[in-house]
Amino acid sequence: MERTTTVVVGAGHAGLAASHFLAARSIDHVVLERGTVANSWRTERWDSLRLLTPNWQSRLPGQHYDGPDPDGYMTAGEVAEFIDRFAESSRAPVRPHTTVTSLRRTDDGYQVDTDQGGLRCDTVVIASGACNLPVVPAWSGAVPDSVTQLTPFDYRGPAQLADGPVLVVGASATGVQLAAEIQRSGRQVTLATGEHVRMPRTYRGRDVLWWMDASGVWDQRHDEVPDLTRARRLGSPQLVGTDERTTLDLNALTDLGVELVGRASTVRDHELLFSGGLRNVVALADLKQDRLLTGFDEWATRTGVDGDVKPVERFETTRVAASPRLRLDLRGIRTVLWATGFRADYSWLDTPVAGQVVDGKGQLRHDGGVVDSPGLYALGLPVLRRRRSTYIHGIEDDAREVVGHLAGHLGTGQ
């Protein structure tokens, strides 16, 4: 059986960053990929999707965006090309079309079985992503057969939907973007709204993510976050990347004609029931947005940035109907789109390993990417080592530090 020092699972931006730093330390390794480089960006995104982060923030080790539109937002295809260039320039030892079927411990490390054969190794870096599978409520099976059910993995654009009303469930970035796109196509959309992160696209003349970056919010380390578990499970902020840099919050959706309802709770007798807490949910999101913007203002005053940006601004509170509906007859709905989140797929972990490193909610147990099994590491997960870990530009520091720990485990020095 083939032997290598390290196996990296996944050839997205995280796995390729791991490969970059492994190569820099002369650690023998291979990168296994079930499809091709940046596979999920090529095959699991809807047509109109763009990054939430501006182009100037798109960077990988030794590679930055150098195109003509630094304030724009990459399409999924452009992201795939960006990652592809990184794979080529770093000469990453990627083995495409190689699906990992099992990972198990051995006396001297791990055995990784694939549909192309097996490998033995001392260490493994899991970089297979946090969004491999869509999350759909267990009670979705009670939705009438007359209703087409889709997830963001199935959806490509409004043209594939039947004419008629659409219910979008989930109000993080995916949910609000798809609700807006479908409403603009002429279909009436109802948006079931749970906990969410409200954020303006621009603030005081700068992209809001410039403020996150410059003020140091994204620098907060995982061991400094008050409720790390909660932070790792938060949905993406309500943002969309457009040429106009427009804000897409619930008020913008209301202006488009989208109907807002509370969190979807269950189906009973062909009716979908909604929580009555919509007003409280949006009030909390408004409060947190105000606190965030106040923090930016205080930082700008403290550092003297005030003179370089526009004056302080605040935004209208989220508008909610006096009596949002609490139930919806699904027999009048043509499509339900579940934008209720994603989860990682660790089904390929051998049972003893999975029992040790995966918790009851399917999350990997790790401390800043150091998994609860000697020689096993992770990259590319939300708030892995810092708040910016969630985004492409956050991988460089994470990968450098995780590979540094891996090197120490191997005894090659920190």
* Helix or strand (DSSP H, E) at 3: strand 2-3
pLDDT digits (tens, 9 = 90+) for 391-400: 999 999 999 9
What's the domain range around 53? Answer: 2-132+344-410
Would you say 248 and 254 are in contact if contact means Cβ atoms under 8 Å apart?
no
Q: Does 14 lie in the same domain as 103?
A: yes
The whole-angstrom separation of Cα 193 and Cα 229 is 21
As given in the structure block, the two tokens for residue 406 are 């891996």
Total domains in the chain come to: 2
Q: Does 110 lie in the same domain as 181?
A: no
As given in the structure block, the two tokens for residue 320 are 């909610």
pLDDT digits (tens, 9 = 90+) for 228-241: 999 999 999 999 99
Question: Which of 288, 308, 338 marks a domain boundary?
Answer: 338
The whole-angstrom separation of Cα 88 and Cα 20 is 11
Q: Does 146 lie in the same domain as 276?
A: yes
Which pLDDT score is estimated for 412? 66
Question: Which of 338, 362, 383 marks a domain boundary?
Answer: 338
Which pLDDT score is estimated for 1? 86
- Average pLDDT across the chain, whole number: 96
Q: Does 224 lie in the same domain as 107?
A: no
Provide the 10 A C-beta neighbour count for residue 200: 23
- Burial string for 384-411 (b: 16+ CB within 10 Å, else e) reads bbbbbbbbbbbbbbbbbbbbebbbeeee
pTM of the model: 0.95
Which pLDDT score is estimated for 414? 41
Q: Which amino acid belongs to residue 170?
A: G
Q: Does 247 lie in the same domain as 126?
A: no
The whole-angstrom separation of Cα 175 and Cα 134 is 13
The whole-angstrom separation of Cα 394 and Cα 176 is 24
Q: Does 7 lie in the same domain as 38?
A: yes
DSSP annotation of 258: P
pLDDT digits (tens, 9 = 90+) for 142-192: 999 999 999 999 999 999 999 999 999 999 999 999 999 999 999 999 999
Would you say 178 and 153 are in contact if contact means Cβ atoms under 8 Å apart?
no
Would you say 193 and 282 are in contact if contact means Cβ atoms under 8 Å apart?
yes
Q: Can you give the pLDDT of all 414 residues of the chain as single tens digits?
A: 899 999 999 999 999 999 999 999 999 999 999 999 999 999 999 999 999 999 999 999 999 999 999 999 999 999 999 999 999 999 999 999 999 999 999 999 999 999 999 999 999 999 999 999 999 999 999 999 999 999 999 999 999 999 999 999 999 999 999 999 999 999 999 999 999 999 999 999 999 999 999 999 999 999 999 999 999 999 999 999 999 999 999 999 999 999 999 999 999 999 999 999 999 999 999 999 999 999 999 999 999 999 999 999 999 999 999 999 999 999 999 999 999 999 999 999 999 999 999 999 899 999 999 999 999 999 999 999 999 999 999 999 999 999 999 999 999 654
Q: Does 203 lie in the same domain as 78?
A: no
Q: Does 295 lie in the same domain as 249?
A: yes
108: domain CATH number?
A: 3.50.50.60
CA 4, 7, 12, 18 torsion: positive or negative? negative
Question: Which of 338, 370, 399 marks a domain boundary?
Answer: 338
DSSP string, 15-79: HHHHHHHHHHTT--EEEE-SSSTTHHHHHSS-TT-B-SS-GGG-EETTEE--SS-TTS--BHHHH
Nearest Cα neighbor of 236 from 176, 288, 295, 289 is: 176
pLDDT digits (tens, 9 = 90+) for 209-261: 999 999 999 999 999 999 999 999 999 999 999 999 999 999 999 999 999 99
CA 47, 74, 293, 388 torsion: positive or negative? positive
DSSP string, 154-217: T---GGGSPSS-EEEE--SHHHHHHHHHHHHTT--EEEE--S-----SEETTEEHHHHHHHTTG
In degrees and rounded to multiples of 5, residue 215 shows phi and psi of -80, -10
Q: Does 279 lie in the same domain as 141?
A: yes
Q: Does 260 lie in the same domain as 156?
A: yes
Q: Does 192 lie in the same domain as 287?
A: yes
Residues 6+ apart with CB under 8 A from 185: 158, 159, 161
Q: Does 58 lie in the same domain as 44?
A: yes
As given in the structure block, the two tokens for residue 193 are 């709204």
The whole-angstrom separation of Cα 368 and Cα 122 is 20
Nearest Cα neighbor of 93 from 5, 23, 13 is: 23
